[in-house]
Chains A and B, each alone.
Chain A
């Protein structure tokens, strides 16, 4: 008989967390002006501006800074990290891991696992569940989970309003050292063609209205229901709820479906100010909530990725959070640091202008 851990989550928790948002912001009104959308279109998405990575940034560099901030909060020796898992859908190299570049630059190499994962917006969340297993089984002491994207969108596509750039990172380790412990987690996936990008194609395509009901809402609702059934908790037991945030309206709508009041969602809702940062989307919401949480708070987290799947987590904050909050810049510090740019500068920074590179 296999000796299985019945609840591996409880052995694990978040030791350190950190995020990164690039300096540049593109107002959504500017995209509407350039591509001839109605002025009301951005308002319908409840998103005002989106974060744009500078010309010298990519998913690797942003992931580096988020991970650096997570390390500062964790206060551990980087050499004790046994796994670096990097979730992205905007790898700078098609073949060559970002995880090894970040691991090398942070002094984690060479005694570590390292790989990049892809599952639209939820690869980093899958990495978090894998990290729980790896830490609970004592395969590794600490695992570094990074979600980072410079999300692509075809110029003029509705997706361009929200596809943005940001990164977030978590160091998962033993619950005895954690600022927040995992109580339970649950995953719900199906084959759903709501959003995809074929090889060598620069921008993703999506199923328009199909991205909502059968994809986003169906998977998040079922992941959360699965978690609640598994734990016996109800939505009323949570102080915060963070859902994947492709725009500013979907997280509030899924909250209504689940009976979660808006007030528990708004503290972790970052998309209205930076857009949808894909693998960092829901997880940067968790980062922001941890920046302000107090011991005993219980957090419901449900990232989503197209293709499609959702994970639901119950996370409880410990008293160790108090000393770690101020050891690195907070999400709000990055939100406050911004420079507005126009569409031309955005097009240059994101490589939308075809040049001959010598």
Chain B
């Protein structure tokens, strides 16, 4: 077993719902979530979810991957901005070929399996981003 089961369990809401914390003092969003605001040091924060559409700022394609990711390569790692929040996160893009990625492209979160701990260990699931499909909700409708 290479994965920490406790860590995956502890962080599941960040993986599944993009959980973050918002500082009640300076109003800034901390992602990944933090119990102490990394901008002003306040300990008064509330849980929020950043689940919603985003746009691609920049990206890179990785062809040499760590163990456990061989079948998922090439990995397209992107810096994306979550619309309406200004929050930037690093994520993986899916359902797209490297040559199809464009700066400013609109994308949406989807739950995918991101890696497996060998043949018998846990399967890790997380939100990745894929191009918006026709019929998707209007931009800005963050839950």
Instruction: Verify B123–A333 contact, CB threshold 8 A.
Output: no
- Chain B residues closer than 8 Å to A33, beta-carbon distance: none
Give the nearest-CB partner of A60 in chain B: B125
Measured between alpha carbons, how far is A303 from B70 in the docked complex, in Å?
A: 38
In the assembled complex, A92 has its CB within 8 A of some CB on chain B: yes
Digitize B103-143: 1 where CB-to-A-CB distance is under 8 Å, 0 elsewhere. 00000001111101011000101001000011111000000
Digitize A24-64: 1 where CB-to-B-CB distance is under 8 Å, 0 elsewhere. 00000000000000000000000000000011111011001
- Chain B residues closer than 8 Å to A54, beta-carbon distance: 94-95
**Partner-binding segment picked from A129-137, A255-263, A324-332:** A324-332
Instruction: Verify B113–A57 contact, CB threshold 8 A.
Output: yes
Digitize A310-336: 1 where CB-to-B-CB distance is under 8 Å, 0 elsewhere. 000000000000000011111001101
- Chain A residues closer than 8 Å to B112, beta-carbon distance: 56-57, 61
**Partner-binding segment picked from A99-107, A204-212, A274-282:** A99-107
Instruction: Verify B113–A358 contact, CB threshold 8 A.
Output: no
How many contacts between A and B, using CB within 8 angstroms?
Answer: 65
- Given the known interface contacts A104-B12, A329-B133, A334-B133, the answer about A93 and B123 at a Cβ–Cβ threshold of 8 Å is yes
In the assembled complex, B67 has its CB within 8 A of some CB on chain A: yes
Partner of A92, one of B68, B113, B133: B113
In the assembled complex, A197 has its CB within 8 A of some CB on chain B: no
Instruction: Name the distance in Å between A66's Cβ and chain B's nearest Cβ.
Output: 11
Instruction: Verify A328–B68 contact, CB threshold 8 A.
Output: no
- Chain B residues closer than 8 Å to A337, beta-carbon distance: 133-134
Measured between alpha carbons, how far is A23 from B100 in the docked complex, in Å?
A: 15
How many residues in A have their beta carbons less than 8 Å from beta carbons of B? 30
Measured between alpha carbons, how far is A130 from B11 in the docked complex, in Å?
A: 33
Measured between alpha carbons, how far is A353 from B80 in the docked complex, in Å?
A: 34
Partner of B95, one of A23, A93, A336: A23
Instruction: Verify B123–A92 contact, CB threshold 8 A.
Output: yes
Instruction: Verify A101–B125 contact, CB threshold 8 A.
Output: yes
Partner of A58, one of B16, B72, B110, B113: B113
- Chain A residues closer than 8 Å to B128, beta-carbon distance: 56
- Chain A residues closer than 8 Å to B118, beta-carbon distance: 357-358
User: Can you list 10 A-B pairs with a CB-CB distance of less than 8 A?
Assistant: A23-B95, A54-B94, A55-B72, A57-B113, A58-B113, A60-B113, A105-B125, A328-B135, A329-B134, A337-B133
Top-3 shortest CB links A-B: A329-B135, A333-B135, A105-B16
